[in-house]
């Protein structure tokens, strides 16, 4: 949903912002919308990494710890926290709309050094640290499992003690997470590095290229899932062709 909103709302609005004048209220609303959706998207990536970590590193506890109710609560909390954080972050803009704009009709947001540094830590440094740490743990365990599977393949085939398809699925999920992390870093690093330099030295907003590269991460995420998971492609086809609205669509076999 967060990736979809980036493509449906944020990127068209960013283009529109470049070619027309904006009202102060609309500009503030746009600033809040972009910040909220992007923060929620980053939070979702962190939750995915936590999910993979528990699945790979603690498989025996996965079904009891990662329940549907907890997943809904975590995703909901992610969106709520992102919204509350962005209200606090943009409180000055809400109080005095247009304070960062240098001329009438301009829609610009300029952060001071303290706000820029806090945003850098909360939306980039902290998530990247958590994601990379968890993925390194996942990768180490996945490699260990793969070695164990190769060394005991005869015993596994004879006693059926381990389900090869389950292990294969988990290792594939780990690889997918790895690709997501790399793409996330490639898309976000230039934006935040440029922002950090500008906040401390020039106080300018990032250029359009870095902004669209920042957004492009949300475009790539669904493509990555589509490449790795056939069930994801089938799900998208059901939605796009509106088959999901047909009676009995909930019984469709996606696996």
Residue 177: the pLDDT is 67
Planar angle of CA 15, 114, 106, nearest 5 degrees: 30
Residue with tokens 């070695």: 147
Is residue 236 one of the residues assigned to a domain? Answer: no
Q: What is the C-alpha to C-alpha distance for residues 235 and 253, in angstroms, rounded to an integer? A: 10
- pLDDT score at 200: 47
| Whole-number Å distance between alpha carbons of 245 and 249 | 7
pTM: 0.70
CATH classification of the domain holding 85:
1.20.1070.10
Residue 129 in any domain: the answer is yes
Q: Classify residue 242: in a domain, yes or no.
A: no
Helix (H, G, I), strand (E, B) or coil at 245: helix
Please report the pLDDT score of residue 199 as a whole number. Answer: 52
Ranges of the chain with pLDDT below 70: 23, 94, 96-112, 145-147, 149-174, 176-177, 195-207, 255
- 136 is a domain residue: yes
Torsion angles phi and psi, residue 229, rounded to 5:
-125, 110
Show the domain range for 83.
2-230
What region does 229 belong to: left with phi over 0, alpha with psi -120 to 50, or beta? Answer: beta
Query: What's the number of domains the chain is made of?
Result: 1
For residue 71, the model assigns a pLDDT of 92
CA 247 – CA 241 distance, rounded (Å): 14
Rounded Cα distance, 13 and 30, in Å: 8
Whole-number CA gyration radius for the chain: 22
Task: Tell me whether residue 247 is in a domain.
Answer: no
Number of other residues whose CB lies within 10 A of the CB of residue 116: 18
Q: Token pair of 138, please?
A: 């996942």
- Let me know if residue 240 belongs to a domain: no
């Amino acid at each position: 949903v967060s990736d979809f909103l980036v493509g449906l709302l944020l990127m068209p609005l960013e283009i529109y912002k470049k070619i027309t004048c904006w009202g102060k209220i609309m500009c503030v609303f746009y600033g809040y919308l972009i910040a909220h959706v992007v923060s929620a998207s980053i939070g979702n990536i962190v939750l995915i990494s936590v999910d993979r970590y528990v699945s790979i590193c603690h498989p025996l506890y996965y079904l009891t710890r990662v329940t549907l109710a907890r997943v809904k609560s975590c995703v909901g909390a992610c969106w709520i926290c992102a919204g509350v954080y962005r209200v606090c972050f943009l409180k000055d803009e809400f109080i005095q709309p247009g304070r960062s704009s240098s001329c009438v009709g301009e829609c610009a947001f300029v952060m001071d050094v303290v706000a820029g540094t806090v945003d850098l830590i909360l939306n980039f440094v902290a998530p990247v640290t958590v994601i990379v740490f968890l993925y390194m743990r996942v990768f180490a365990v996945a490699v260990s499992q793969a070695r164990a599977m190769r060394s005991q393949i005869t015993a596994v085939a004879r006693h059926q003690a381990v389900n090869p398809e389950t292990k294969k699925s988990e290792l594939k999920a780990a690889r997918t997470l790895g690709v997501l992390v790399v793409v996330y870093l490639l898309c976000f690093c230039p934006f935040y590095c440029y922002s950090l330099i500008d906040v401390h030295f020039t106080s300018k907003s990032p250029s359009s290229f870095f902004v669209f590269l920042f957004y492009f991460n949300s475009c790539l995420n669904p493509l990555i899932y589509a490449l790795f998971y056939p069930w994801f492609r089938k799900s998208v086809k059901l939605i796009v062709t509106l088959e999901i609205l047909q009676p009995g669509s909930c019984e469709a076999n996606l696996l």
